[in-house]
Each structure stands twice: as structure tokens, then as C-alpha cells.
Amino acid sequence: MSAEGHDHAIDHEHEHHKQTFITKYIFSTDHKMIAKQYLITGILMGVIGVAISLLFRMQLAWPEESFRIFNIILGDKFAPNGVMANDIYLALVTIHGTIMVFFVLTAGLSGTFSNLLIPLQIGARDMASGFMNMISYWLFFISAVIMLSSLFVEAGPASSGWTIYPPLSALPQAIPGSGSGMTLWLVSMAIFIASSLMGSLNYIVTVINLRTKGMSMTRLPLTIWTFFVTAIIGVVSFPVLLSAALLLIFDRSFGTSFFLSDIYIAGEVLHYQGGSPVLFEHLFWFLGHPEVYIVILPAMGIVSEVLATSSRKPIFGYRAMIISTLAIAFLSTIVWGHHMFVSGMNPFLGSVFTFTTLLIAIPSAVKAFNWITTLWRGNLQFNPAMLFSIGFVSTFISGGLTGIILGDSTLDINVHDTYFVVAHFHLVMGISALYGLFAGVYHWFPRMYGRMMNKNMGYVHFWVTAICSYGVFFPMHFIGLAGLPRRYYTNTNFPLFDDLQNVNVLITMFALVGGAFQLIFLYNFFASIFYGKRSVQNPWKSNTLEWTAPVEHIHGNWPGALPEVYRWPYDYSNPHHDVDFVPQNVPMKPGEEALHH
Amino acid sequence: MTSLLVIIVLVLLAVALWQLTKIFDLTQVGANPDKSEVATDVDNNIQGYLNFGFLAFIYIFFIYGLFKWGPLVLHTPASEHGLEVDRLMNITWVLIFIVQAITQALLHYFAFKYRGTKDTKALFFADNNKLEAIWSGIPAVVLAGLILYGLYAWTNIMFVDEDEDTIVIEIYAQQFNWKARYSGEDNVLGKANVRLIEGVNSLGVDMADPYSQDDIVVTELHIPKGKKIHFKMRSQDVLHSAYFPYFRAQMNCVPGMVTEFAFTPVLTTDEYRELPYMIKKVANINDLRAKKSLLLVAKGETALDPYTFDYLLLCNKICGASHYNMQMKVIVDTPEDYKKWVSEQALLVSQVKEAKAAPAGVEGGVKLDSTKTNDTTAVVKMAMK
């Protein structure tokens, strides 16, 4: 085994010299380069997604005012005299949701860290199929380009919400964005799903087959566990969205009636007969709900890893963490109906989904308590990644608790589709997953670029982001409980909501400040790539295998033999050892026993 | 313009902070260059205190929010089942507050208390089955209670007994307005389909159906206090959602199918206006509107009307460009007033007859619709083939 690995590495060393710019930086099959490509694409999409949200937040805070910036960005058609038009508002909301959920928090988060960490942490030379990995990235890139190009079609991009419920998304007569904008959206998503499936299959095969000697499943870092389970959820649920998208394309372009029936619009009856929009909702949420776990599980893995490393303490309840991850993954596929309590489906189904949904709170609670216990009597090292991990636990709890209200069908009746929902899911899966992404970037930046990010900028970035996140989403719960529906372009037509306007202004202020401070992160990130201080091999004194590879990236990851694994990844402050960390490739001392279950 | 100024200020602030961090960096000159970006004891100390400060921020902000924005939240429910919903909501809130207060405190206090130093070593504490059992068991028991209560309430609310004495009313949604159809004396709605839409018969009611002879179509919903109303929802174009926030009621309107929701109003519009919290809320809203009016008048525009409370039906499912303005006034009358109001409404049958008798072209809308009817029938024929 080790001899074989050795040869392999030498081959790659040889190849290394022959690499051209194109094979090294563009059509690379090296997982580390692909991870960086995912990350940078994800960050750029994130900038666009966040910028869009700031635009519509300004509209919500000052609905009748004219902003030159609207006119500059949206043009004369969608913001004449700087006043945002009502249909472009919906388009912005739609594209913000789509970009953030799929392009930033799915591809940007999972794509980056699964690619970077799976081979490095399990001790593999690369992904099972480097070529498929490359195709996966480039399909993602193409789908991102198509999604962005939809912003420039004449009638405007898709505007029926990121959930694209038909008939609104099927009929250009219903909203202009359902014309070519929607077509591009569907094409983009179909390609995105293909990309995601290729990535997921690769992750699963790699984790199952390419673990190094001694790396049993119960010695895997929790990052790998969550990436592995996330990939399985993706493979199970993404194809269902693909089928929904295809059927919708059929309804839109070939006159079938899968989702449409009995429609009278723009003065005429359409021929559709016998379809049901509720069917689309089922298909959409069969992916849509697991999707939020696709987003949050990798973040949970990253946070578990960072919390343990930076607390200099084993993660509390390693096995409980794995079991709760599996439980969440299983339950996530049978709770989609809680998005549809008032969709008109049989109320009995609502009862079933209430039951399964509230069950998810149990494994989630286990995780939260385990994280908190991991901090207890630790020796906490407050690197920026650690702060974001603590921030994650905080927002995950705050956002998760209100899920108990939304998951309960009786209570959902009155808060469904209000700003209460917006506040809930932004905290629990938006902000939390972003914190996971930031924690991952700060923690593994040295592994990606061989340099360190500036910690002081990281501190400022964290604290302002933490305050602004609560500043935006905490007051939002109240306007939701006041009955304010989401996706309203302005509330000025309802004097009833006049007293919510001050809250909206406050929320927007926090959003603008929080958004502006992300520039610090961007500067820190890009400047550190070139000018950051050189990193040592294992700056955080971590146990996992990626820190045993040389700082310089080489094809094949390790020169010579692959590391062999003798212990679990969380031997921090092990009383049998003098140093407070014992990497996985350190053999057990004579007479040493594993101190965990 | 002021907002542009705000943005500029924010950007400048960002630049200032960036410069500040640069100064921080300069103070670090001379430290070991390889490790200088890893947290030191000083960093741990500062960040530990900041974590404690953040805990204070969360507590203060949350308590401030409860007092400042708590009064905005929907109050006294105006329907019978709403009382049950609010009771369950309050129980859930109490649980959430307790868990939130404890977990946030533990999380940030631990972060403060166990901030790292060079000489300490963490406790090796890898697992404890008793603890895991406690914090899977307690949530399981609590959630079981919530689930049972929730399902009991849900079943009571959602399953309408067909034998029950109710008033059947259809809520009809279209881009971007609501209509209501009353089932009349027989309390049965006449058959309807969008393919039958023609002129004033804008809901596509089958006028040949005997049940439709006493149906009434209106644009303002009146319902009597103390009687269960059985709503049947339809939509003619896209998904809409009939949202009655004050009655704790919501149901999507789905083209191609009929959805249902039933509730019993317990407070008339007049009674609800007289609730102390509503008097306060309306006064506050009118204060805000008066202030805004001053600004408008100064700009030469008309002032805003003062606001009186009315129940509303809102659209709560994205339905198109004017989704934000799809509403219908809902009025809860005393049973007597309701009876009187209903008797004053014109029957749909007579409206249709009148429209047919009137010469074509008198009413623009009717003419437009009747020209479209030809297409409509053609399409229907095609679909039938």
C-alpha cells in the first residue's frame, strides 16, 4: 500500500512540471484547486446575493423614496427616476433566494469544503474521479452564468419567489418574469442539479472507498461525516427537483397539464385541465426541505471540528453527534409537508408532518447541548473561526427554537408566509450556514493558500456581523407576528401596518451596516491570498490529517506514503500525553487505550 | 439623498476600521511572523470578555424588543378557535424563552469563563451517556406534549363537520382582488367553473344550476358574529392565500380545486375597535400618519386619511406584481345587521339578466369580456376534443 502510494506521488510530481496555466488553474482535476474555484465563485455569487438583498431592504424601509442607486443598477425600465418598480422587487427577492440557497450555501459551502477536506482528512490522494469533479465545477459555473444572465433579459428575471410555484411561474401572462427569465432559471437549475449530483456521488464514493489505512468510519472527523450524509441527502432529493423542473418545462413549453388546471387569465380561459399546483409543491419541497439540511449539515460539521480544535477538547459525544446527524438526515426527508399546512392538502397529512417535524427538534437539541458542553472546561482559543462557530450555535438555537412554532400546524396557520418565517429561516439556516462558511474559511484558509488571514479584521468582521444579524432578524419576528405578509413590495396600502414602518427602517439600517462590513472580509480574504503571512504547517494545532500534508499544494497531497491513522480525531488534552493535541497519525503509546466510546 | 449619505458614511466607517486593523497589525511587529495570526492569551482575554458583553447585548436587546415591539404583535383573536391557537402559542413561547435564556447564557458564559491561557489544559471529557439521555429525553417529553396539544387543536380547527350548522361562503381570488359568493337561502353554492366566466358572471357560476339561483356576489365580506362560517376558496389564475390575521385563519386558494377553512367570529368589527389595545394601536397609527401628512402637505401633496380599524383579508401567497395590494374588507356584523345587509344585496341571477338585457357596448368592461368569450368557447371546445 505505502509503496504504491509512493510511486503514485512521484508520478504526480513529474506531471506537476508539465502543467500549463489552463490545466492548473482552469480545467484542473485537483480537488484543492476545485475547492478554491468553488469558494471564489461562491463568494462572488454571495456578493451579488447580499447586494440584491440590500436593494430590496432599502425599498422596504423607504418605499416611496427615490434612490439614484436603484436607477443606476436597475435601469430606467425597472427603476424610473430611482423608484423601484413592483415587478422588479419580486424578481430581486426571487434571485436573492435562489442565489443564496443554491449557489452560495449549497455549492459555495458544500462544494468548497467537501472538495477540500474529504481527500485531505481521510488521507486520499484526490477524489475518486477527478475528471467528474472538474465537470461538476464547470457545470456549476455554467449554471451560475445562466442564472446571472437571466438578470438581463428584457422582461426581467424569474419573479415568482425562489419556490417558483406554478401557475405563477408557468404563465408569462401572470407575471412578466415567467417568460424567458423563468426559462433561464429552470435551465440553470437543471444544470445545477446535474453538477450537484456529480459532486455528491464523488463525495460518497470517495468517503466509502478511499479512506487511508486505519481510518475507520468511527475515526472520521465530524466534517467528513456531515459532508458524507449531506451528499446522500442530495442524491436522494435533488433528482426530485429535477423532475419537478422538467415537468414545469413541459407545462410551460409543450402544453401539458401536470401542475395547471382551470385557469382564466388576461381575459381568456387556458386549455389546462386536471393538473394540480399542490403536486408541484410536494415535489418542490421533497427537495426543498432536505435542501435546508444540505445547507446546514456541512456547517454543523465545520463548527463541530472548529469548536473541538479551538476548545482544545474532544467534541462532546462524538457518537451522539454521528447518530443525530443520521437522524436529522432521515427525518429531513419526511417533513417536507410542513411547508404546506395551508396549501389545501388533506389536514390529516398536516398532522403527520407536524409529528415528524417536531421530532427533528430532538437530534437538533442533542447537537446544541453537545456543542455547549464541548466549551465547558475547555481552553478556548478565540481565533476568528472559533467566534463564528460560537456565533453559529447562538443563531442556530435562536432560529431553531421558533421552528417549534412553525412546525406546529396549528400555530403555522397564522404565521405561515409572514415575516416570522423569514426571520426564522434566515437565522437558522441563512445566517447560521454563513457563519459555518466563514468559520470554515478562516480555519482552512492556511490549508488552502498557505497563508494566514488577518485575525483583527476577522474579529471586527465577526462582532459587527453578529450584532447586525440579530439586529436584522430579531425585530423581524415581531413584524411577522403582527401579521405582515412576506413578499410585499410596500406596506403603504395597509394603514394597519403603518406602525411597523419604524421597525423596517431599523432592520434595513442593520442590514446596510452588516452588508458594508462584509467588505472587510472580502478585503481580508483576497489580500491575504497574496500578502497574508506565511502559515506554518499546523497553525491551529489540529489533529486531523490535512495538517500533516505540506503547506505547498502538491498533486497527490502527501509526498511519499499516505499517512496511517491510529486514533480518533479528537484526542485534544488527552491526559496520557503532555501536549494538548495528538494528531491522528500518531501511533498509540504502549498501554494507551482510547478514552472515548 | 439622506440615505445615500448614510451609505457613504458606512463605507467611510468601514475604511476607518480597516485602517484601525492596520494599526493593530503594526503593533504586532516583532512577534513571531509565522504564528502572529493565531489567537494569543491577550486575544483570548479580550474576546472572552466580548462574548460576555455579547450575552448582555442579546439579553438587553431581547428585553428591549419585547417592550418596544411586543405591542405591535397581533392581540386578542376575533375567532373562537383563535383563543385555542393563542393559548398554544403562549405555552410554546414560554418554553422557547426559557430554553433560549438558559442556552444562550451557558454558551456565552462558558466562552467567557473558559477563555484560554497558555498554561491551562482543557478537561478531557469525551462523552457521558447519562447527559445525552437527559437532553434527548427532556426535549422528547416536552415536544410530545406540544405535539399532542397541537394535533388536538389542529383536528378541531381543520375538520369541518358537514352536518354542522354553518353559513357557506365562497372566497374567490383573482389577480389582484377578492370576491365573495354567498350561497343564499339554500346554503349551497351553485356549481362553477372558470370556463363559464362571461361578463358580470365573473366567477364562472353555472346559472343553469338550481343552487346558483340565490347566490350573491360581493366585494366586501360581511359575516355574522357567533355563527360558524364555512369558507370554500377558489382561485381563477394563480395561487393566492386567503389570510385573515385577526381570525387566526389562512388557506391557500388553488386553481383547479376548492379548499376550505371554517371559523366562528366572536367579536364584531365595532367591538374589536373598542378593545383597549386596539384603541391605543389606532391612536399610535394615526399619530404616525399625522406626522407623515405634515410632510406630504409641505410637499404640496394631499394629506393621509385618518385610519379606523377594519378586519382585512390579505393575499399571503406571492401572486404577481400587485400582490402587495390584494385585500378585501371584512366586516363582522351582529346577526341582525347581517340579515339586513344580505337582504339588500342583489342576486347574481338578476345581475346577469340585467346585463343581457342592456344593449352591448354600454359598459366597456362587459363588451371587452364578451368579445373574449368567443375565444373562450373556442378554447373550451379544443380542450374537450
The residue of B21, B367, B374 whose CB has the most chain A CBs within 10 angstroms, and thus the best one to mutate to test that interface, is B21
Q: How far apart are CA B247 and CA B224, in angstroms?
A: 13
pLDDT value of position B89: 96
**Using the 8-state DSSP alphabet, how is residue A547 labeled?**
G
Facing B147 at nearest CB: one of A358, A463, A533: A358
CB contact under 8 A, B33 and A354: no
Its ipTM equals 0.93
CB contact under 8 A, A516 and B11: yes
Q: How far does the CA of residue B66 sit from the closest CA of chain A (Å)?
A: 9
Averaged pLDDT, A287-308: 96
Q: Is a pLDDT exceeding 90 seen at residue A457?
A: yes
- Within a domain: A177: yes
3-class state of residue A542 by DSSP? coil
pLDDT value of position B310: 96
At B26, the pLDDT band (50, 70, 90 cuts) reads low
Among residues 16-35 of chain B, which lie with CB inside 8 Å of chain A? 17-18, 20-21, 24-25, 33-35
pLDDT value of position B357: 87
Facing B241 at nearest CB: one of A268, A350, A417: A417
> Residue B205 forms beta bridges with which residues?
B192
Please indicate if any CB of chain B lies within 8 Å of the CB of A267. yes
Averaged pLDDT, B120-141: 93
The residue of B76, B120, B121, B291 whose CB has the most chain A CBs within 10 angstroms, and thus the best one to mutate to test that interface, is B121
- Within a domain: A587: no
Facing B39 at nearest CB: one of A268, A359, A455: A455
Domain count for chain A: 1
- Within a domain: A555: no
Please indicate if any CB of chain A lies within 8 Å of the CB of B119. no
The residue of A73, A379, A386, A534 whose CB has the most chain B CBs within 10 angstroms, and thus the best one to mutate to test that interface, is A379
**pLDDT single digits (tens) B303-333:** 889 999 999 999 999 999 999 999 999 999 9
Q: List CB contacts (< 8 A) between B324 and chain A.
A: 86, 487-491, 493
**pLDDT single digits (tens) A46-84:** 999 999 999 999 999 999 789 999 999 998 889 988 999
At B385, the pLDDT band (50, 70, 90 cuts) reads very low
Domain ranges of chain B: 43-117, 167-271+307-357
Q: List CB contacts (< 8 A) between A90 and chain B.
A: 318, 321, 323
Instruction: List Cα–Cα distances, B52 to A309, A369, A460, B38, B104, in angstroms.
Output: 21, 19, 16, 21, 10
Please indicate if any CB of chain A lies within 8 Å of the CB of B141. no
Q: Is a pLDDT exceeding 70 seen at residue A176?
A: yes
CB contact under 8 A, A417 and B288: no
Q: How far does the CA of residue B94 sit from the closest CA of chain A (Å)?
A: 11
Q: How far apart are CA B373 and CA A248, in angstroms?
A: 28
| CA terminus-to-terminus distance, chain A | 29
Please indicate if any CB of chain B lies within 8 Å of the CB of A218. no
At A211, the pLDDT band (50, 70, 90 cuts) reads very high
Q: Per-residue b/e over B114-149, b at no fewer than 16 CB within 10 Å?
A: bbbeeebbbbbbbbeeebbeebbeebeebbeebbeb
pLDDT value of position A512: 97
**pLDDT single digits (tens) A220-252:** 999 999 999 999 999 999 999 999 999 999 999
Decide if A457 contacts B39 (C-beta within 8 A).
no
What's the CATH fold of domain B167-271+307-357? Immunoglobulin-like (2.60.40)
Q: List CB contacts (< 8 A) between B105 and chain A.
A: none
Instruction: List Cα–Cα distances, B278 to A46, A433, B75, B267, in angstroms.
Output: 43, 40, 9, 13
**pLDDT single digits (tens) B326-368:** 999 999 999 999 999 999 999 999 999 998 887 655 444 444 4
Q: Residue A452's domain is classified under what CATH number? A: 1.20.210.10
Please indicate if any CB of chain A lies within 8 Å of the CB of B90. no
Please indicate if any CB of chain A lies within 8 Å of the CB of B96. yes
Please indicate if any CB of chain B lies within 8 Å of the CB of A268. yes
Instruction: List Cα–Cα distances, B297 to A438, A501, B289, B293, B306, in angstroms.
Output: 49, 20, 12, 6, 14
pLDDT value of position B15: 78
Q: Is a pLDDT exceeding 90 seen at residue A264?
A: yes
> Nearest residue on chain A to B153, judged by CA atoms?
A410
**pLDDT single digits (tens) A520-557:** 999 999 999 999 999 999 999 999 999 999 998 998 99
3-class state of residue B257 by DSSP? coil
Decide if A301 contacts A224 (C-beta within 8 A).
yes
Q: How far does the CA of residue B214 sit from the closest CA of chain A (Å)?
A: 24
Q: How far does the CA of residue B16 sit from the closest CA of chain A (Å)?
A: 11
CB contact under 8 A, A347 and B132: no
State chain A's mean pLDDT as an integer: 93
Among residues 251-270 of chain B, which lie with CB inside 8 Å of chain A? 251-252, 254-257, 259
Among A183-192, B247-256, B354-363, where is mean pLDDT lowest? B354-363
Query: What would you measure as the largest C-alpha separation in chain B, in angstroms?
Result: 97
pLDDT value of position B61: 96
Q: List CB contacts (< 8 A) between B369 and chain A.
A: 267
- Within a domain: A489: yes
Q: Is a pLDDT exceeding 80 seen at residue B265?
A: yes
Tell me which residue of A50, A26, A32, A188 sits closest to A117, measured CA to CA. A32
CB contact under 8 A, B37 and A269: no
CB pairs under 8 A between A and B: 441
Secondary structure (H, E, C), A124-175:
CCCCCCHHHHHHHHHHHHHHHHHHHHHHHCCCCCCCCCCCCCCCCCCCCCCC
Q: Is A508 exposed, middle or buried (0-12, 13-18, 19+ CB in 10 A)?
A: buried
**pLDDT single digits (tens) B147-164:** 999 999 999 999 888 788
At B27, the pLDDT band (50, 70, 90 cuts) reads low
Q: List CB contacts (< 8 A) between B366 and chain A.
A: none
Facing B24 at nearest CB: one of A160, A274, A456: A456
Q: How far apart are CA B304 and CA B314, in angstroms?
A: 21
Q: List CB contacts (< 8 A) between B39 and chain A.
A: 381-383, 386, 455
pLDDT value of position B24: 62
Facing B65 at nearest CB: one of A269, A408, A475: A475
Please indicate if any CB of chain B lies within 8 Å of the CB of A278. yes
Q: Which domain range does residue A443 map to?
A: 2-548
- Within a domain: A597: no
**pLDDT single digits (tens) A560-571:** 999 999 999 999
Please indicate if any CB of chain B lies within 8 Å of the CB of A349. no
Q: Is a pLDDT exceeding 90 seen at residue A351?
A: yes
CB contact under 8 A, B251 and A375: no
CB contact under 8 A, A596 and B127: yes
At B22, the pLDDT band (50, 70, 90 cuts) reads low
Please indicate if any CB of chain B lies within 8 Å of the CB of A58. yes
Decide if B376 contacts B191 (C-beta within 8 A).
no
**pLDDT single digits (tens) B92-130:** 999 999 999 999 999 999 999 999 998 889 999 999 999
Contacts of residue B331, defined as CB under 8 A and 6 or more positions apart, other chains included, come to: B220, B221, B222, B223, B269, B310, B311
Looking at beta carbons, which pairs linking B130-137 to residues 24 or more positions away fall under 8 Å? B131/A317, B131/A369, B131/A373, B132/A317, B132/A320, B132/A366, B132/A370, B135/A365, B135/A366, B135/A369, B136/A362, B136/A363, B136/A365, B136/A366
